[in-house]
Structure 1
Amino acid sequence: MERHLSSSAAEPTRAEIESLQEPLFIEFGASWCGHCIAAQPLIASALGDHPRTRRIKIEDGPGRRLGRSFGVKLWPTLVFMRRGQEVARLIRPTDRSAIAQALTQIDDES
């Protein structure tokens, strides 16, 4: 059974995240964060080549457990997971190629 997790739903638990087997990209950030806003076109462009990868945006901040469980300190922090395991992580990416490379590492089609 597939779980639908999104930024509009309640924040998923770490166990829920780790139970997902499909390629997963988690974006921790805040809607008002300048670094997060600047990264959006880069993320969208890179994700275009990986339609099977699920993206979950997590509004992070003080007291948010999921971000703390991943050790998030700066935004955006991008966590790339495959079969429930973290494979790559980018913090404040500034170029599309780094994001694309991390997505390729988790893509089941690669």
Structure 2
Amino acid sequence: MSVTKVTLQNFADEISHSEKPVLIDFYADWCGPCKMTAPELEAFSQEYDDVKACKINVDESADLAAMYGIMSIPTMVLVKNGKEVARHVGGCEKADIRAFCDKNM
């Protein structure tokens, strides 16, 4: 499964009403660590079916970033049943993403 881009228009369908836990990557196109994390998240999403991977561009969806209190990027937020259960701030590799999800599921 590939990473799904989320905006305010599809937020409810993709995140709030998801039957699976959702890992949200808050990013910006100009952010260096975000650019390094993006292919790692994509690789993770191809191998890990238990979690739905999504990404939110903070410049395009500032309202969603504010709703989650995002202060720096990249930030990954794990959501279960529509509620945040954990967050990780900073870039990471595929193994780190998997460990983060495994620890907090």
Instruction: Give TM class, smaller chain.
Output: 0.7 to 0.9
Root-mean-square deviation (CA), in Å? 2.5
Structure 1 residues 25-34 or 47-56, which shifts more?
47-56
Identity within the alignment, %: 23
Matched, 1:11 2:8: yes
Structure 1 stretches lacking a partner, 5+ long:
1-5
Deviating 4+ runs (over 6 angstroms): none
What TM-score, normalized to structure 2? Answer: 0.73
Q: Distance in 2 between matches of 1:58 and 1:20?
A: 16
Match for residue 72 of structure 2? Answer: 74
Amino acid in structure 1 at the alignment position of 2:70? V
Match of 2:24 among 17, 23, 26: 26
Structure 2 stretches lacking a partner, 5+ long:
none
Larger Rg: 1
Q: Distance in 1 between matches of 2:92 and 2:21?
A: 22
SS of residue paired to 2:38: helix
Question: What is the aligned residue count?
Answer: 99
Correspondences of 1:1-110 after superposition (within 5 Å): 6-7=4-5, 10-12=7-9, 16=12, 17-61=15-59, 64-104=62-102, 105-106=104-105
- Between Structure 1 and Structure 2, which shows a larger proportion of helix residues? 2
